[in-house]
Amino acid sequence: MTNLDLKQEESRLEDVKAEAELANAPTVRRFWKGVLLCNLLCFAAAADGYQINLNGNIIANTGFIEHVGQMNPTTGAYALTTSMTALWGALQSLGHIVGMVLLNPVSDKIGRKMTLYLLWCILFGSIMIETFVYNWQQWAGAKLLAGVGIGCLQATLPIYVTEWAPVNIRGGMLLAYSCWNQTGGFLAPLILFICQNTLGAEEWKIPIYTQWAFLSIMLPIFLWLPETPSYYAARGLHDQGKAVLRLVNGNVEGYNIDAEYQVIRNTIEDEQERMTALGEDGQSWRSILNSYGECFKGTNLKRTLAAALAASCQQLTGLAFLSGYASLFFKEAGFSNAFEITSILFAVKTAMVFVFTFTTDRMGRRTVVIVLGGICCLTLLTIGILGHIEHTNSTNIALIVIACIWSGFNVGLGAFGWSFAGEVATQKLRARTSGLGSGIAVIFGLTFNTSVPIMLLDSGARIGGNTYNTAFIFLGFGTICWLSTIFLLPEVAKRNSAEMDEMYEKNVPV
């Protein structure tokens, strides 16, 4: 490399570093197009939260039960059997894992934008079946497709946002997913409540139809969103890569397109050279399978674990216990106003997600996740202890307050989970690592979504006759996962892909 080349390279690096040191507000104003892209894509998360919460609530609707349930020959009443609901949950979780893990190679082959079209078509098929459903078997098929579509969305979105968001506000852009997800999740029970109170308790079709509104808004967004420059760089389509970067950031004053694209290109070419040295082309199915194996070797194993830890910590510190089955827990624990309590918890979660979104790039992510995990473990310990003392009005109020604290901090673990899944991986293995990290958390979710109802029913008869003992079970699992975050979770805030690679290669302490 000549002296002129060295000076040009130093100039490019200085430009990129200067951009990374901008404060949050100036960054948003300067890179407003990139911020808009990320938020428009994150709107799709509202459809994710809406569908999951809608389907979780609609199975209790009388009209829905009479439409797809089975009639009891003795009483003549329609009901949903445990085998039906278990199959629906299992198929949706299976689809979730398939979408997160197995569709990731498709994302690398056809690009992020084409993958968005694919997941839209899958969700279209799911809602179409739900719209014209006649029996519980068809509903099961819809749940499988919904799981695949949502899993694909959750694996693709962090990658797209990571590849477009400005480095110093990347965390906030990734956490925007959780903001929209919580918003969609809030709208689902609200729509059901409005329909049941205005159209009758048996109305269930209108809420199903409302899903078409989300899908209709998603399509023009997906059509407008551009492909990422990283995808073009990986294919050697450098003119197209620079063109799309110019389309989004070309009007930014002082923005050096060549410098930014060169950083992306150098990172990708360095990883491609390593793959070539190993005899891998990265395109064949053999190479794809081997790339999954690479995620569990050397420093890539540390990255895969880091991608999974925050979201797994959310699951293992009681997500199914105090969120997914919160109403069941409070009901079995003797509270008569379980619905009101869970509504309060939801409001707390929504507020905290917005707080984390606007502060994450200033406070970092590693320390915050460690603090959140530790507080969740302490609240589980407190809830478990409260369950073994005499219940009074004071202890009940204390339990609700502690549950609110847990709710606010636990939702942060999930929000940061999407951030780590998208940021911690190498460019070459980003899709694989993101899918595996999220998939591991989903497996924990599947396990506890199946087992927690068994723990809680019949006043905790299967766990020592006290539903509060569930808190101690999650305390054990959660503490192990929380300690792992201390040793394995890196700080990713304001670090680009090249800096993350260097940190892991040199074994820099997290």
Written as one string, the DSSP assignment of 314-366 is HHHTTHIIIIITHHHHHHHTT-S-HHHHHHHHHHHHHHHHHHHHHHHHHH-SH
Total count of domains within the chain: 2
Domain boundary residue among 225, 241, 266? 225
Q: Is 247 among the domain residues?
A: no
**What pLDDT, on the 0 to 100 scale, is given for residue 4?**
44
- Whether 290 and 213 share a structural domain: no
- Whether 476 and 353 share a structural domain: yes
Q: What is the mean pLDDT of residues 176-185?
A: 80
- Whether 211 and 351 share a structural domain: no
- Whether 217 and 290 share a structural domain: no
Q: Is 112 among the domain residues?
A: yes
In this predicted model, what pLDDT tens digit does every residue of 233-272 receive, in sequence order?
A: 988 899 999 999 999 888 888 788 888 888 888 888 887 7
- Whether 293 and 208 share a structural domain: no
Q: Is 239 among the domain residues?
A: no
User: In angstroms, what is the C-alpha Rg of the chain?
Assistant: 24
In this predicted model, what pLDDT tens digit does every residue of 315-330 receive, in sequence order?
A: 999 988 887 666 666 7
Q: Is 261 among the domain residues?
A: no
- Whether 346 and 208 share a structural domain: no
Average pLDDT score over the chain: 82
Top mean pLDDT of 18-27, 85-94, 472-481 is at 472-481
Which residue has better confidence, 500 or 375? 375
CB 30 within 8 A of CB 183: no
- Whether 375 and 297 share a structural domain: yes
- Whether 487 and 405 share a structural domain: yes
Q: Is 199 among the domain residues?
A: yes
Q: How confident is the model at residue 354 (pLDDT cuts 50, 70, 90)?
A: confident
Q: Is 237 among the domain residues?
A: no
Which residue has better confidence, 425 or 124? 124
- Which distant-in-sequence residues (6+ apart) come within 8 Å of 169 by Cβ? 24, 27, 28, 35, 361
- Whether 46 and 158 share a structural domain: yes
Q: Is 440 among the domain residues?
A: yes
Which residue has better confidence, 10 or 25? 25
Domain boundary residue among 195, 225, 255? 225
Q: Residue 159 belongs to what domain range?
A: 10-70+81-225
**What pLDDT, on the 0 to 100 scale, is given for residue 279?**
55
- Whether 215 and 309 share a structural domain: no
- Which distant-in-sequence residues (6+ apart) come within 8 Å of 175 by Cβ? 353, 356, 357, 360, 415, 416, 418, 419
Which residue has better confidence, 83 or 114? 114
In this predicted model, what pLDDT tens digit does every residue of 80-102 receive, in sequence order?
A: 777 787 788 788 888 888 888 77
- Whether 388 and 493 share a structural domain: yes
pLDDT surpassing 80 at residue 199: yes
Flag the least confident range among 189-198, 268-277, 294-303, 362-371: 268-277
pLDDT surpassing 50 at residue 1: no
Q: Is 258 among the domain residues?
A: no
Flag the least confident range among 145-159, 320-334, 427-441: 320-334
pLDDT surpassing 90 at residue 425: no
Judged on CB neighbours under 10 Å (0-12, 13-18, 19+), 269 is middle
- Whether 14 and 85 share a structural domain: yes
The CATH number that applies at residue 128 is: 1.20.1250.20
Domain boundary residue among 208, 225, 242? 225
Judged on CB neighbours under 10 Å (0-12, 13-18, 19+), 29 is exposed
